[in-house]
Each structure stands twice: as C-alpha cells, then as structure tokens.
C-alpha cells in the first residue's frame, strides 16, 4: 500500500503531465497550490480525528479537490484569461500602423511601448538589485558552510537556503512587472511538517535552490553591464538633444574636436543636427532596452522557474 507522500507525489506527477504544453510558471503555480491544499487538508483531518485512516482521508480530499485533468484544464483556462503583465497602452495602439497586414509600431513607436520603459527601468536598477543579490548569495553560502558543524548550523543553513528561493520569487515578480515575462505568482510549497534534516536534504538536493543561487551570483556582472550601457547611452542622447540650447542660449561650444594643435569646431548652423542624432540614439536605446528586457526575461524564467 502506498504512503500518503507517495499518493501526493503521484497526484502531482499526473497533474504535471496533464499540464504539458502550459507555461512553466503556470505549472509551478498549479503544483504549489495542489500540494499545499492536499497536505494542509490532510493535517487538518488528522488533528480532528484520532482514528483517521490517512489513505482513505487523502482519497476523499483528492476527490473533492478534483482529478488532475480537471485541475489542469482549469489552470489552462485561467491562464488564458489572465491580463498581460504589461497591458498595451492606448498610445501604443494609436502608434501602430498596418504594414502588409501586420501591426507595426514604427521606429519611434517604441516610446509608447511599456516593455521598453520597463526594460529601461529594470536595467537602471539592476546595479542595486545585482549588488544585493550577489552579496547575500556569497554571505549566505559562506555562513552556512561555516556553521554547519555547530548545533545551530542546520536551522541557519535552512533559513539561508530558503531565503535564496524567497529572493528568486521576489525577483520573478519584479521581472514580470517590468519586463512582462510570465513568472510564478506562488512560491514553491514547503512542507512544514518535515523535520530539519528532511527539509535541509530537500533544499540541498533541490535544483531550484542552486539555480536561484547561480542567478543571484550572475546578476552582479549583468547589473554592471546593464547599468553602464543604459546610463552611457541615455546621457549621451540627452547631451546631444540639449546641444542647440547649450550653443545658442548659453554660448557653450559644442561639436569641438581636438587633435593636438588642430581644433575642429562644428559650424553653428549644423548644431541642430546633433539634436536629431540624439533623438535617433535615444530611440535606438529604447529599442535596445526592450530587446534586452525580453532576453533577460527568458533568462530569468529558465533559472528561476522549476520544470
């Protein structure tokens, strides 16, 4: 006869199989909801009835909750009705034109795209989040290894490893909010009835723990690259756009280049061209922010969402 853990794991395996083809984040949410419901309901039944036959009680709980195929279909329907993480703005719809039967926003339509602005904001704050993630990942791992030989080592290690998953969940919400990539809306379920040793074993052998740790470590170099690139491009774009004002209003020379004793100065009547170059560079920067945000969203999903 199967144990309750085996029955629950079998149900979750059937549910995962029924969700084949669904978004990875939806699968993780469905499995977390199902496991939490089954285990919580079983614990409640055990607390209320002393002579409880666990397998029979779990069978009744599963019957009330629903068959895996029914639950899978419900989650797929729910996923299809969810609004987009970044809803299309009215300005984005107005900027879209039809080219060969396809919606095409145009080169400058990127300024009406919320994903471009979300990508820009994400890349600018990534230097802060990347530094915090990297510092916590290094501190957590080194501290855990250092105290493993002590009595308090196991609970401290559990807390640190759980924090890695917690930070991964919060990062997922940030990625969905700014980059528009669907991420889990529920953290992975952790069975609180397990002892410290069992929970530590699950955390140490769980792929999600170490993929989250790798992501946190990689966010520092990525954050430096993102922040440096965006600050440089945005600053240069704004400086070029402001160049006519600096030249005509404040009499500040712009477009001056020096090569030793030879100095080239851009004629005043050509100064407005720098503003057009700045606008073009700023638009390219927004396209780059949108593209980079899309790629990073896929990267985050690959590491932070369980299979």
Q: Which residues pair with 104 in a beta bridge?
A: 97
Q: What is the pLDDT of residues 201-243, one digit of tens each?
A: 777 777 888 899 999 999 999 999 999 999 999 999 988 887 7
Smallest CA-to-CA distance from 270 within 251, 289, 243 is with 243
pLDDT, position 301: 92
Q: Return d(Cα 210, Cα 192) in angstroms, integer.
A: 21
- Backbone dihedral region of 149: left (phi > 0), alpha (psi from -120 to 50 degrees) or beta? alpha
pLDDT, position 307: 63
pLDDT: which is higher, 172 or 143: 172
**Looking at the predicted structure, is the pLDDT value of residue 38 above 60?**
yes
Tell me what the mean pLDDT of segment 171-189 comes to.
86
pLDDT, position 97: 47
Name the CA dihedral angle for 185, 191, 192, 196, rounded to a multiple of 10 degrees. Answer: -120
Q: What percent of the chain has pLDDT over 90?
A: 27
Smallest CA-to-CA distance from 183 within 85, 87, 88, 86 is with 85
**Looking at the predicted structure, is the pLDDT value of residue 263 above 80?**
no
Is residue 68 within 8 A of residue 30, CB to CB? The reply is: no
pLDDT, position 253: 58
Give residue 196's pLDDT band: very low, low, confident or very high (50, 70, 90).
low
Tell me what the mean pLDDT of segment 68-95 comes to.
67
Pick the range with the lowest mean pLDDT from 30-44, 63-77, 202-216, 255-269: 255-269
pLDDT, position 123: 96
Smallest CA-to-CA distance from 174 within 125, 102, 110 is with 125
pLDDT, position 298: 93
For 63-105, strand residue ranges (E) read 97-99, 102-104
Q: Indicate the DSSP class of residue 87.
A: P
Q: H/E element holding 121?
A: helix 114-147
Joined together, the tokens standing for residue 215 give 């992501």
pLDDT, position 117: 92
Residue 155's alpha-carbon distances to 149, 208, 288, in angstroms, are 12, 19, 44
pTM of the model: 0.78
CA 300-136-201 angle, to 5 degrees, is 80
Is residue 274 within 8 A of residue 255, CB to CB? The reply is: yes
The owner of tokens 């052998």 is: 205
Q: Is 286 exposed, middle or buried (0-12, 13-18, 19+ CB in 10 A)?
A: buried
Smallest CA-to-CA distance from 299 within 210, 183, 130 is with 183
Cα atoms found within 13 Å of the Cα of residue 14, Cβ hemisphere only = 14
């Amino acid at each position: 006869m199967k144990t309750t853990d085996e029955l629950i794991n079998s149900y979750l395996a059937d549910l995962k199989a029924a969700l084949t083809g669904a978004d990875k984040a939806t699968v993780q949410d469905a499995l977390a909801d199902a496991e939490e419901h089954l285990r919580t309901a079983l614990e409640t039944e055990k607390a209320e009835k002393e002579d409880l036959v666990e397998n029979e009680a779990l069978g009744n709980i599963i019957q009330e909750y629903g068959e895996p195929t029914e639950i899978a279909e419900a989650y797929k329907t729910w996923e299809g009705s969810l609004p987009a993480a970044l809803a299309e703005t009215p300005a984005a719809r107005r900027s879209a034109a039809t080219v060969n039967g396809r919606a095409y926003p145009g080169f400058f339509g990127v300024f009406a795209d919320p994903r471009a602005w979300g990508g820009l904001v994400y890349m600018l704050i990534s230097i802060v989040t990347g530094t915090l993630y990297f510092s916590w990942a290094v501190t957590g791992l080194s501290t855990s290894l250092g105290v493993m030989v002590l009595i308090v080592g196991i609970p401290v290690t559990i807390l640190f490893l759980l924090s890695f998953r917690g930070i991964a969940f919060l990062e997922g919400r940030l990625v969905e909010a700014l980059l528009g990539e669907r991420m889990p809306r529920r953290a992975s379920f952790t069975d609180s009835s397990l002892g410290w040793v069992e929970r530590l074993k699950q955390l140490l052998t769980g792929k999600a723990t170490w993929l989250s740790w790798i992501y946190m470590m990689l966010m520092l170099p990525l954050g430096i690259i993102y922040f440096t690139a965006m600050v440089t491009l945005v600053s240069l774009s704004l400086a070029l756009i402001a160049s006519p004002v600096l030249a005509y209003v404040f009499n500040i020379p712009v477009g001056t280049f020096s090569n030793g004793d030879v100095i080239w100065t851009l004629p005043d009547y050509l100064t407005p061209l720098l503003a057009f170059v700045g606008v073009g560079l700023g638009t390219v920067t927004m396209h780059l922010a949108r593209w980079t945000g899309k790629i990073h969203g896929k990267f985050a999903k690959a590491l932070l969402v369980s299979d």
